[in-house]
Amino acid sequence: MKILIVCTGNTCRSSMAKAIGEKILAKLGQADGVELSSRGTMAWSGQAASPLAVAVMQKQGLDLSTHQAALLTTDDVNQADAIIAMTESHKQQVLTMSGDAITKITVLNISDPFGGTEDDYQACAEEIAGQLKEILPKLAAVEKER
């Protein structure tokens, strides 16, 4: 199962969500057969993760130091089995690429910490983790039923 996580720049929210999601799935023993990826609707391909995102993830034992942003493409949308968008706006941008994505998209409504403090990034990461703990096990379970 391919799960795509989408935000704007792919340097904060979606990159943190990918790392957090992989940790959640591993802890639950549901990582097998599930591939998480992250993209940005307005990403500069190759850009590093935000230094504060890297710092917050490092405190959780997760490494974003080698992350490189990638721009969302129609192929990404079409190849994903499930899509997690950080906001309703991201959902709408995904749907302009493929209306068929409506059946596989979930919105988290996570505010962008970009330009904020480390505390803002920490709060963002906690909000992402809380929501992914609810969503990812359900998506992984669907994969196991296939």
Is 112 a catalytic site residue? yes
State the pLDDT at residue 122: 98
Residues 91-120 have a mean pLDDT of 97
At 27-55, the pLDDT tens digits run: 999 999 999 999 999 999 999 999 999 99
State the pLDDT at residue 105: 97
Q: Identity (one letter) of the amino acid at 29?
A: G
pLDDT band of 142, cuts 50, 70, 90: confident
Mean pLDDT score of the chain, rounded to an integer?
A: 96
Is 12 a catalytic site residue? no
DSSP state of 103: G
Is 7 a catalytic site residue? yes
Distance, in Å, from the CA atom of 68 to the CA atom of 61, rounded to the nearest integer, reads 19
Q: Identity (one letter) of the amino acid at 70?
A: A
Residues 67-91 have a mean pLDDT of 98
Q: Which of 12, 13, 39, 76 is catalytic?
A: 13
The pTM assigned to this predicted structure is 0.96
Domain regions of the chain by residue span: 2-139
Q: Which of 7, 39, 76, 124 is catalytic?
A: 7
Q: Which of 12, 75, 112, 119 is catalytic?
A: 112
CATH of domain 2-139: 3.40.50.2300
